[in-house]
């Protein structure tokens, strides 16, 4: 089992819809969770970080964390074609400070 798992997609949604991206992790001791957006050939850009169970909202983005289920998700409301990218879920492994990445989910927002 991979430490951080994501569906590679592609996930295709129409413009204006809600995109839902999911991630599961295996280390129950993980405390910090991150979502990065990566455009093709570019570097990962931090979108959201979440540390506590529940929801965290920032503009059109909402991160959701459920530690009991070892599950973290990212919702993108009012999706725009500019949101088309690969979204990487990342988890800090225990107290090592090392970031473990999932393989990423490719999102396509169609006009």
Partner 1 sequence: DADVTQTPRNRITKTGKRIMLECSQTKGHDRMYWYRQDPGLGLQLIYYSFDVKDINKGEISDGYSVSRQAQAKFSLSLESAIPNQTALYFCATSPGAFLSTDTQYFGPGTRLTVL
- Work out whether 88 is an interface residue with partner 1 (CB under 8 A): yes
- Euclidean distance between CA atoms 15 and 49, whole angstroms: 25
Q: What is the closest distance, in whole angstroms, from the C-beta atom of residue 78 to partner 1 in the complex?
A: 26
Q: What is the closest distance, in whole angstroms, from the C-beta atom of residue 25 to partner 1 in the complex?
A: 13
- Euclidean distance between CA atoms 52 and 58, whole angstroms: 15
> 17 or 99: whose CB is closer to partner 1?
99
Pairing of strands 61-66, 54-58: antiparallel
How wide is the angle at C-alpha 36 spanned by C-alphas 95 and 64, nearest 5°? 75
Instruction: List the interface residues with partner 1, window 25-54 (CB under 8 A).
Output: 31-32, 34, 36, 41-46, 49, 51
- Asked whether 46 and 34 are in contact (CB, 8 A), the reply is yes
- Work out whether 85 is an interface residue with partner 1 (CB under 8 A): no
Binding-site size for partner 1 (CB under 8 A) equals: 25
- Euclidean distance between CA atoms 107 and 34, whole angstroms: 17
Residues near partner 1, by CB under 8 A: 4, 8, 31-32, 34, 36, 41-46, 49, 51, 88, 92, 95-99, 101-104
């Amino acid at each position: 089992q991979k430490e951080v798992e994501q569906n590679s997609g592609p996930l295709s949604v129409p413009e204006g819809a809600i995109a839902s991206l999911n991630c599961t992790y295996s280390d129950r001791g993980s405390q910090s969770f991150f979502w990065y957006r990566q455009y093709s050939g570019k570097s990962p850009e931090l979108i959201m970080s979440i540390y506590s169970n529940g929801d965290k909202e920032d503009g059109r983005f909402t991160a959701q964390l459920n530690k009991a289920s070892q599950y973290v998700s990212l919702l993108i409301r009012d999706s725009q074609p500019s949101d088309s990218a690969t979204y990487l879920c990342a988890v800090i492994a225990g107290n090592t400070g090392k970031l473990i990445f999932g393989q990423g989910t490719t999102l396509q927002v169609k006009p």
